[in-house]
Structure 1
Amino acid sequence: MCRACAAPWPCAFARLTLRQEYAHDRIGLHVYLCAVLHEATADLYRLHPHDGPDPRSLFDRFLGWVRGPGPGPGGGDHPGPA
């Protein structure tokens, strides 16, 4: 949960902030969010061992929003073929 707005983290403001902080390091953003996803999954399973989190929902929440227009052609992080 976001400490500022109580929405599930990363909330809209956190996503915007993360995009700005990692504007030139999309891979770093993915690595960071994967680590947070791993930690959140462990916490949720510990809190709800019989009714654990839905993996797809967690992926969408933590990583699904990162995809989008990037600096290269076609929206990727790499410039594409020469």
Structure 2
Amino acid sequence: MQPAPEPRTPPPPNSRWHHEPARATARLGPLAPAQTRRPNFVGLVQDGAGGRTLVTTTAPHMPLRPLWLCRACAAPWPCGSARVTLLREYAHDRVALLVYLGGQLHDAAEQLYRLNPNDGPNPKQLFDRFLGWARLR
């Protein structure tokens, strides 16, 4: 009999792909588990009996690179839900939020330009999309 395989641990998050909510979680408490989060509406599909079935997802609102669309709702990232989540996670450290979003803006500008170099992203629109909503007031 073979020994049971050891459980695989997930790789550590890469700072370019994942924001770390530990600081905010320590102050605000943990986010709701995936089972209790409100699902995102995806759409209705026809089932075999002529009715419709609601399709939902609880996928996190993270960017789909290199398109920079939200993985959960397909809106330009950061979408409204991602903005709310980021504001909650960085509620007590707005400067850290701006640093994180500045890095995301840098990556997005590079990747979006590579996708379409002839009609690259407008810098003002990218700034407003990534940093304009999160500025210190």
TM-score (norm 2): 0.49
Residue of structure 1 in register with 2:85 after alignment: 17
Aligned-pair RMSD on alpha carbons? 1.0
The structure in which a higher percent of residues are helix is 1
Amino acid at match of 2:124: R
More strand by share: 2
TM-score by length of 1: 0.80
- Render the CA deviation track for 1:34-77: whole Å, top value 9, x for unaligned: 00000000001111111110000000000000136xxxxxx4xx
Query: Do the aligned residues in 1 keep the contact of 2:98 with 2:135 (CA within 8 Å)?
Result: no
Larger relative contact order, structure 1 or 2 (CA cutoff 8 Å, min sep 6):
1
Which whole-Å CA distance do the structure 1 matches of 2:110 and 2:118 have between them?
A: 13
Residue of structure 1 aligned with 2:107, choices 17, 26, 39: 39
Structure with the greater alpha carbon radius of gyration: 2
The count of residues paired between Structure 1 and Structure 2 equals: 69
Runs of 4+ in structure 1 deviating by more than 6 angstroms, as ranges, are none
- 1:55 to 2:123 alignment: yes
